[in-house]
């Protein structure tokens, strides 16, 4: 199973910029990739577990292991490439 972790916060402007891209990915990858949106203000333990120091951060997990990571505003294509590693 492939999972995309999206670490964000409601006050983060770059995170807001990424929202439409994440929504598109959720629709396109429905049933293939699980997208988990993690509000770092509400889930500090999870952010700490994955070593998230800045947001937005995107982590791809394959079979529970980290397979890729992007930090900051990134393109839909870059996220898809990372998911398809």
Catalytic positions are 12, 15
Answer yes or no: are the C-beta atoms of 21 and 76 closer than 8 Å. yes
Would residue 51 be called left, alpha or beta, if left means φ above 0 and alpha means ψ between -120 and 50 degrees? left
């Amino acid at each position: 199973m492939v999972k995309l972790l999206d670490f964000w916060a409601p006050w983060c402007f770059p995170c807001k910029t990424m929202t439409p891209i994440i929504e598109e990915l959720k629709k396109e990858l429905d049933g293939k990739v699980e997208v988990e949106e993690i509000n770092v203000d509400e889930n500090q333990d999870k952010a700490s577990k994955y070593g998230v120091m800045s947001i937005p951060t995107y982590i791809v997990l394959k079979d529970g292991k980290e397979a890729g990571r992007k930090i900051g505003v990134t393109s839909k294509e870059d996220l898809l490439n990372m998911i398809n590693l």
